């Protein structure tokens, strides 16, 4: 029977459009997340939005950079992992009177024609260096895994992959199979990925080709949104809409994904919107999370061992979400104890 190595990953980042409380936006929910992981004795992986730390070191050292660094170092001390997450728009965003104003340069490709160190190569180099230095305070540390901001690896995939590899990255976890999103500031298209659970992406790209050398893809586990499960999701949203208002975690922030553009992009974003394994979405109850797991076993039944990620965002996790996470861990450790191993990238 297929066995799964499952990584509990979390994009450690502020609300990208604005936030009135850094503790509420990132530090408090992450403390609660780490406390839960410790109590369940599982390893989690924090994909740290390091570009925010780079700019806040100048903008607000004590209010943001220092607790950011201390929280990541604390996570490492509990044997969790910290890996590389790049939202490059921070580097040309603005900060005034205690507030940040994000630019629309959400993807690395926007920086293609900038001069070093603000080109793609320079941003990846400085980001990896900053994260390695910050985390080496706790122990001998080198980041080995990457997730693109907004799950983005397109376009300029070859430039991005070559520079990630140059800076020590050997695993990527930006792909959600069958996912498509397009706005006026970014576009991700993962509709034609290999059937295999994991594959090695050649450094010259493209993403959907498997090679003998390159960066190993560890996708975020997902399941196509069949009509039945679409209806169940809609039913949950309608039935529980008042309850969801109470359950939603208020991080005092707003998002920054851009505005949806043409009609074709909107239609495709609806059609290609898979169920993603994670705890952010209030309409995905434990039953749906289990269905996503069962789908992985069915989809990859001919593979002996596969590696996949679960992904959530601390900024979205309140008491209800963490309770769902707790129940899901219990499910894994009882129902799937012989077939699913929770681990990190360093354990692969």
CA distance 90 to 113: 17
pLDDT of residue 226: 76
Q: Which two tokens stand for residue 228?
A: 């039945």
User: Phi then psi for 33, rounded to 5 degrees?
Assistant: -65, -50
Radius of gyration of the chain (CA): 19
The CATH number of the domain holding residue 164 is: 3.20.20.370
pLDDT at 227: 75
**Cβ(45)–Cβ(343) under 8 Å?**
no
3-state secondary structure of 227: helix
Query: What CA–CA distance (Å, rounded) separates 2 from 297?
Result: 6
Domain that holds residue 144: 3-347
Q: Which residues pair with 307 in a beta bridge?
A: 5
How many domains is the chain partitioned into structurally? Answer: 1
Tens place of pLDDT for every residue, the chain, 348 residues?
899 999 999 999 999 999 999 999 999 999 999 999 999 999 999 999 999 999 999 999 999 999 999 999 999 999 999 999 999 999 999 999 999 999 999 999 999 999 999 999 999 999 999 999 999 986 789 999 999 999 999 999 999 999 999 999 999 999 999 999 988 889 999 999 999 999 999 999 999 999 999 999 999 999 998 777 777 777 777 777 888 888 899 999 999 877 767 766 666 666 668 999 999 988 888 999 999 999 999 999 999 999 999 999 999 999 999 999 999 999 999 999 999 999 999 999
341 half-sphere exposure, CB direction, 13 A CA radius: 11
Total count of residues recorded for the chain: 348
Q: Which residue has the tokens 């043409």?
A: 262
């Amino acid at each position: 029977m297929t066995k799964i190595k499952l990584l509990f990953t979390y994009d450690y980042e502020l609300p990208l459009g604005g936030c009135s409380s850094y503790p509420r936006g990132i530090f408090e929910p992450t403390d609660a997340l780490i406390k839960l992981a410790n109590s369940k004795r599982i390893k989690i992986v924090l994909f740290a939005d390091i570009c925010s730390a780079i700019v806040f070191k100048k903008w607000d050292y004590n209010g943001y950079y220092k607790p950011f660094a201390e929280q990541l170092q604390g996570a490492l001390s509990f044997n969790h992992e910290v890996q590389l997450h790049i939202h490059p728009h921070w580097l040309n965003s603005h900060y005034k009177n205690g507030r940040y104003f994000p630019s629309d340069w959400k993807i690395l490709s926007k920086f293609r024609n900038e001069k070093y160190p603000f080109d793609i190569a320079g941003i990846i180099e400085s980001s990896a260096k900053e994260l390695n230095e910050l985390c080496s305070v706790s122990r001998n540390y080198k980041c080995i895994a990457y997730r693109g901001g907004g799950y983005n690896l397109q376009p300029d995939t070859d430039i991005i992959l070559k520079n990630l590899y140059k800076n020590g990255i050997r695993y990527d976890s930006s792909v959600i199979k069958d996912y498509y999103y397009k706005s006026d500031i970014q576009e991700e298209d993962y509709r034609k990925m290999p059937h295999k659970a994991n594959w090695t992406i050649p450094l010259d790209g493209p993403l959907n080709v498997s090679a003998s050398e390159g960066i190993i893809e560890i996708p975020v586990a997902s399941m196509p949104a069949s009509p039945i499960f679409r209806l169940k999701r809609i039913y949950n949203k309608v039935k529980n809409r008042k309850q969801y208002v109470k359950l939603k975690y208020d991080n005092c922030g707003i998002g920054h994904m851009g505005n949806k553009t043409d009609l074709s992009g909107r239609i495709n974003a609806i059609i290609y919107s898979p169920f993603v394994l994670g705890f952010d979405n209030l309409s995905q109850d434990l039953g749906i999370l289990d269905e996503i797991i069962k789908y992985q076993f069915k989809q990859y039944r001919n593979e002996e061992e596969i590696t996949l990620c679960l992904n959530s965002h601390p900024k979205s996790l309140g008491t209800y979400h963490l309770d769902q996470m707790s129940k899901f861990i219990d499910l894994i450790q009882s129902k799937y104890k012989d077939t699913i191993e929770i681990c990190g990238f360093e354990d692969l």
